[in-house]
A and B are shown apart, each in its own frame.
Chain A
Amino acid sequence: MEGTAVRGRLSWQVATVGQVIDETAAVRTIELQAPDWAGHRAGQHLDVRLTAEDGYTAERSYSIASAPGEPVAITVERLEDGEVSPYLTEELRAGDDLELRGPIGGYFVWDGQHDIGPLLLVAGGSGVVPLRSILRHRERTGSAVPTRLLYSSRSLPDVIYRAELDRDNGGGVEVIYTLTRAQPPGWTGRAGRVNAAMLAEVAWPAGQEPLAFVCGPTPFVEAVAEGLVGLGYPPPRVKTERFGATGTGAAGGS
């Protein structure tokens, strides 16, 4: 099992909100100016802490949306019954302070230098966020590893980072969308949920020794991971991150 050195204590630090970008009606990217940020790896997450005037605090984890070397950014989906995500997506604005600590996690990461075969990224909904960090890292480092992103969304307006994903991405990246609920007229992408048949068509053959990163809601990740294992992917080559139904932004380990 691969490992990384255990870092020292992760201290809370104050970051200032820079640009905020509305990605979809319910999803916003928040760029943060964090002078004490020690850097991160593609796929890691961070913790955010909010403090109310009466001292009440709430913490959540969010996947990091930016590439290593870029200013740290998170992309947050508003959950209607959430406590933190409505604040981050509706109330927070440029110039506000936010407490964060991280980076956290060292398994669901892609550093680019240990590639055997091609890269398969499979996203469900806002599960695309850590995979976007990987794509940007791949482009910034000039990696030539052949890469496919299979990205499942409810409808076209729900696709996060669409303009960015539709451009060149440094070459060698195929983006395959599937829309599960509604497809616009003339839609030439895929329709319906990711299932074994779709994976058999889209995923790199197991013989090419691909490395897969799968991120999304639990049933999505369960289905995709099982599908990939069924296609012959060894389980250690299928890294997963699952979002609970409770507004958890990144995986821990339960």
Chain B
Amino acid sequence: MAHISLTEGLPGIRGPMTFSPETTKPLAELAQVLLTGPHTLTPAEREMIATYVSSQNDCLYCQSCHGSTAAQHLGGKDGDYEFIAEMKRDFEGTSLSPKMKALLNIAGKVQQGGKNVTTSDVERARREGATDKEIHDTVLIAAAFCMFNRYVDGLGTWQPSDPEIYREIGQQTSSQGYVKRDYGKPLEAIAAKQRGANS
């Protein structure tokens, strides 16, 4: 049971987003600017930063959605989902570029608290070729997910564990982005389960 009365059957942030359209507008626009569109970091890389921070914050819904969106950007195969799981566990041990590892290190520091980002963290990123904009956007993506994760968990939202639900969300988001979406629309993976339960 969520802490406030939210529409039944909408997982994670979709409940509060439907509850409060006036705050959803800037929240969706922020995600759109940070995670989609032209950038020197690919959408998959930016979604990985979001996924890693959400996993450090132990937010099941956000790490599953953004992990799935990242995997879909990478091709959507089982191996892509396995890579994202590995990235969450130990990004330093993956085949990611040294620049991405340095940026994920900064994101992890932001998750602990802004003051934890040290000059040597930033120097490492710069040595690996990160630009000011890439460092700025990494800090803001990490900070933004410290918000989204708290929003989702702080209201006690429903966070299912079925991977099919997150596969559908990842497919939607990787192709449609975050704005001009109907977050109140039931997900097919959830509707199918309910039909199965009722028959």
A and B interact: no
Please report B residues at the A interface, Cβ cutoff 8 Å: none
